Structure 1
Amino acid sequence: MSDIAYKDAGMAQGQNSTSQLSTSNFQIVSIPRISVQAFCLDSRTAETIQNASVDRRMSKTHTMVQQGGVTAAIDVFKSAATPNLLIVETLSNSKEVVEELDQLAEVCDAGTNVLVIGRVNDVDLYRTLIQRGVSEYIVGPIDIARLINTIGQFYSDTSAEPFGRTIAVIGAKGGCGASSIAHNLSWSIAKKLENDVAIADLDLPFGTAGLDFNQDPLQGVMEAIASPDRLDDTLLDRLLAKCNDRLSLLAAPATLDQTYDFEPDKFDQVIEVMQKGTPTVVLDLPHSWNGWVRHILAKVDEIIIVAEPDLANLRNAKNLVDRIAQLRPNDAKPYLVLNKVNIPKRPEIKPDEFSRALNVVSLATIPFEPALFGTASNNGQMIAEFESRHAVAGLFEDMAVKVTGKAEMQTKNKSLFAALIKKVRK
């Protein structure tokens, strides 16, 4: 049995069949825009995964294949975020496999699917690994068709909730730089964390994402919401402008030829389709208060309020925090980013006093650097592109780690995978 997934009915009954399964019985599905890292011990396995990565059904994925197996994966992810899908190969016996994966679980982030390729044909081992949080175990050597099918099963449930994390960025006051924060944050998540990101510029009349990313797409948000019955991953791909290999933009029209009054749920389908195809979705919201902005704030995973350290911003931020608490009584409070701090001669509220008054977590304090931000914007660049060693570039990288949940996982040093293992151990 060269590559059997133990969910076969025969193995579920404990039979030890060694018959070859035909891949023609499997429906091979397209894989969404995910990051995949594989750690292999057998050169044939590495070659198979590499060849699968260029298949049309995996054309949206970013796949990296390395040698070293489980031990190498543990070493890498002690100090790095795990991908959407982690593939590890092991040649160990049943007892050693369990021990290896127990160690891997301790460095594996929440939400990461783990596919194990082994050599032990044992239903008891399969059941043990599934109980411990492994997404799937298959016996190698593998072939391309079964590999793609196995990966596809993780993301093929159309009734499942979208897997992309949504982050909404909104300014407490016009001109506080919320869009600049949203754009630079998106770039840092994409480039520094190597995580695919889609950003939607929802400041429809005055959006600046196209300018900041040096893009001039002919289509964008308005085309996406024009035909909700036709909107799917394929159509959205045509509407997204590619800013780099991991960052895509759904641009605002940035015109005043119409008003932008919509029903509260007008953007729901656009956001859901973006989530299904992209691990991280950043929503650049306008500084306005209407039904659809309020509706989006009630539904996203994370909210970032951007403010300047003055009294008007504090009042507006307090109103936002209070209203969001009513909309999301069971969710964490928004993050705060203080921007344009230390403007010469301006009376300012100290950052710690500002965040304490709101009783929220301060994500970052961005200093007033008009030349840095202005020049980067004029060049159509992000701060880390324009001056990668500047302290502000580091602040955006730190923000990316925190808001995507990577900092929390590194601090706790465990995942759902690890939690399941601890539960089984009891």
Structure 2
Amino acid sequence: MTILCTPSQPSDELLAAVGTGVLTAPTLSRAQELVEQLPGEPLVVIGPEVGFADAAGFATTLRLTRPLVGVVVIRPELDVETYAHAMQAGIRELVATADLPGLADACRRSRRLSESILLPVDATADSEGKVITIFSAKGGCGKTTLATNLAVALHADGARRVCLVDLDLAFGDVAISLQLEPRRTLVDAVGMGENMDTTGVAGLLTSFRPGLECVLAPVEPGDAEKVPATVIDDLLEMLRGMFDYVVVDTPPQFNEHVLRALDGSDHHVLLTTPDLAAMKNLRLTLDMLDLLSYPRATRSIVLNREDNRVGITAADVEQALRSKLAARIPNNLEVAASFNRGVPITAEKPSHRVSAAIREFGVQRIDRLQTAEAPAVKGQRRRWLTIGARSGDDA
């Protein structure tokens, strides 16, 4: 059910954009009454005649009493300051008055979020999801490809709620790899400050499919520098309570944001390919994680693009790294083709041997994580080190 708050008679075009089954309310107080009377989690659309301060106050109240109720606000003009205040108030979407197609899209996104986002039932550890961070110190190893496909595998056609976070703030590829429009990105979390909650975080999400949501990397030049590392702590903690799994894609370097993610994770997936440079970088990574006292049980080493024709076998990799491989993903050109089409191969071709390898890793290793096997590192503060590394295309 949708509640449209507008003091004037809405046009047929506006009603059509908002959707079917619309109830109108001339005032915000009447809209509040309807929210309390209606079952489920209705959507509230606030028209442009209502003052923005009043609309923001209404949304702020709802985020405390009914956090799953979506609020979409129509404004005559949009600017950066209004967007910032909207995020702080818990408004999910701002739409320009003349943008009726955009309004229809915003309403659909909000309804989908209300239906698919799982809010924490309580604060006990049993209700928390698991955070999985994927890392490689060398660009081009396929972190984004593994992250997107692992997220799809863990999602298992809706059996679990999964969120994919693109933490490569400067050169993130999750949006383009899934053909998503980054209307909201991680930089929008900055405006929430200490008021970050499930309602605000839900407004950051971009849906790939129901139950599989994404927090996308900033797209504007300079936005990466606006995201403080402390935001990562709060964001991952909120997402942990909203999803069964949170998969974090990272840039190919140890920066403060990455270390915060590693610190807040239940498991680290460390990626290499069968080439000397990637293996050397991973060996250094393992040494660094040991120096930072991360438990070895919290990590899995994955060999991506396995191909004995390159002259380095899986046994060679294990010998060089002095560690066992948790998974071996075969090299196949269809993976790159699916990436370019914007559909992960695990979704496009579930029976493909690459899909099977990733799904087996997800089930055998990630989905069966036990506290005794992999003690969580979340909440432990480490000394922050930044190690220079060359960024690269990590598809």
TM over 0.5: yes
Tell me, yes or no, if the aligned pair for 1:335 and 1:360 is still in contact at 8 Å: no
**207, 228, 232: which one aligns with 2:172:** 207
Tell me, yes or no, if the aligned pair for 2:119 and 2:241 is still in contact at 8 Å: no
3-state secondary structure, aligned to 1:265: helix
Aligned twin of 1:353: 316
Aligned twin of 1:51: none
Aligned twin of 2:335: 373
Q: CA deviation at 1:380?
A: 1.3
Cα separation, partners in 2 of 1:319 and 1:239, compared to 1, 3 Å? same
Q: CA deviation at 1:57?
A: 8.8
Aligned twin of 2:368: 406
Cα separation, partners in 2 of 1:206 and 1:343, compared to 1, 3 Å? farther
**109, 112, 122: which one aligns with 1:156:** 122
Aligned twin of 1:52: none
3-state secondary structure, aligned to 2:231: coil
Please give the residue correspondences for 1:226-305 in structure 2 after superposition, counting only pairs within 5 Å.
Answer: 226-260=191-225, 263-305=228-270
Aligned twin of 1:196: 161
3-state secondary structure, aligned to 1:191: helix
Aligned twin of 1:394: 356
* 1:155-190 per-position Cα deviation (integer Å, ceiling 9, x unaligned): 333x86971101000123111111100110001100
- Give the gaps of 5 or more residues in structure 2: 1-39, 42-65, 71-117, 374-395
Which segment is superposed worse, 237-246 or 225-234?
A: 225-234
Tell me, yes or no, if the aligned pair for 1:338 and 1:365 is still in contact at 8 Å: yes
What is the number of equivalent residue pairs in this alignment? 262
3-state secondary structure, aligned to 2:356: helix
**d(CA) in 1 for partners of 2:315, 2:211:** 35
Cα separation, partners in 2 of 1:261 and 1:353, compared to 1, 3 Å? farther
Tell me, yes or no, if the aligned pair for 1:321 and 1:333 is still in contact at 8 Å: no
Instruction: Give the letter aligned to residue 155 of structure 1.
Output: V
3-state secondary structure, aligned to 2:140: coil
Q: CA deviation at 1:264?
A: 4.2
Instruction: Give the letter aligned to residue 189 of structure 1.
Output: L
- Percent identity of the aligned residues? 24
Aligned twin of 2:80: none
**d(CA) in 1 for partners of 2:369, 2:253:** 31
Tell me, yes or no, if the aligned pair for 1:221 and 1:251 is still in contact at 8 Å: yes
- Give the gaps of 5 or more residues in structure 1: 1-29, 32-55, 61-151, 413-426
Cα separation, partners in 2 of 1:407 and 1:300, compared to 1, 3 Å? closer
Structure having the higher Rg: 1
Q: CA deviation at 1:297?
A: 1.5
Cα separation, partners in 2 of 1:365 and 1:404, compared to 1, 3 Å? closer
3-state secondary structure, aligned to 1:275: helix
Instruction: Give the letter aligned to residue 351 of structure 2.
Output: R
Q: CA deviation at 1:353?
A: 2.5
* 1:284-323 per-position Cα deviation (integer Å, ceiling 9, x unaligned): 0111122221232133110011111111111110111111
Please give the residue correspondences for 1:108-147 in structure 2 after superposition, counting only pairs within 5 Å.
Answer: none
* 1:46-91 per-position Cα deviation (integer Å, ceiling 9, x unaligned): xxxxxxxxxx99999xxxxxxxxxxxxxxxxxxxxxxxxxxxxxxx
Cα separation, partners in 2 of 1:153 and 1:216, compared to 1, 3 Å? closer
Q: Pairwise CA RMSD of aligned residues?
A: 3.2
**TM-score calculated relative to the size of structure 2:** 0.59
